[in-house]
Structure 1
Amino acid sequence: MTDQAAPSDASADLWASIDDLWTWLDANRPVGDKEGMLLRMLKLSEEVGEVAQAVIGATGQNPRKGVTHSWEDVQGELCDVVITALVALRTLTPDTREVFTRHLARVKERSLGSAS
């Protein structure tokens, strides 16, 4: 027996966690209204930059610093990007799960066609 949740349980936990994070962030944001929403969208750029920094660090591309990150660090930063994007989407709509699922289906159809 494994410790992993069934896929439907994991999906429900994901969306519940996104809602929980959004609720917490919304209650604790220092800037509200449209400006706060825009800042939440900009957070994505910050997280993507951290992915780039981790990749550069994992490959030792900065000769002054050498290897400063692991590929596990890159994985964590990519997860931060996904979480931040889902929270940003939740900021735009309470129907986050449905919007994401519909869009994923369109991307899958466009990319994989009838092979999906």
Structure 2
Amino acid sequence: MDDLWDNIIKLSAACRKAGEHLPNEELKALQVGKVAEEAGEAMHALHGLKGLTTCDDTHSWSEVQNDLVGAVIAALLAMHYIDPEGVRETFEEIFHRRTRRGRETTAAA
């Protein structure tokens, strides 16, 4: 997991450098928007895969996965933009809370 966070930190630095002319709050907002964009691309690919689009695009599950990974990367970058120092701890806390809820629900069923 350290390699993932190391790469997110490096990518964040490169992205921040490219956007250094923008205020920090605007960079955060734009990065959160990027998450939505990437997720939308995954949905578009899924629609193409299922033949639910009128643009004659054909898609595959690998394209859906590619766009989902893009959404994950965008989300991790957005979290890093919001709190560079505490991003790992925040992620782990939320991940534990959300997966614990799932485990508890599964155990109760």
TM-score, normalised to structure 1, is 0.81
Residue 101 of structure 1 deviates from its aligned partner by 0.7
Deviating 4+ runs (over 2 angstroms):
30-33
Sequence identity of aligned pairs in percent? 33
Residue 61 of structure 1 deviates from its aligned partner by 1.3
Aligned to 1:90: 80
| Shift in CA distance, 64/23, structure 1 to aligned 2, threshold 3 Å | closer
What is the total number of aligned residue pairs between the two structures? Answer: 104
CA distance in 1, matches of 2:18, 2:47: 33
What aligned pairs does 1:41-60 form with structure 2 within 5 A after superposition?
41-60=32-51
Unaligned segments of structure 2, at least 5 residues:
none
Unaligned segments of structure 1, at least 5 residues:
1-10
SS in 2 for 1:46: helix
Aligned to 1:78: 68
Give the RMSD, CA atoms, in angstroms: 1.7
TM-score, normalised to structure 2, is 0.86
Q: Deviations over 1:5-26 (max 9, x none)?
A: xxxxxx1110101101111101
SS in 2 for 1:31: coil
Residue 40 of structure 1 deviates from its aligned partner by 1.3
CA distance in 2, matches of 1:57, 1:31: 36
What aligned pairs does 1:1-116 form with structure 2 within 5 A after superposition?
11-29=1-19, 30-63=21-54, 65=56, 68-94=58-84, 95-113=86-104
Q: Amino acid of the residue matched to residue 24 of structure 2?
A: D
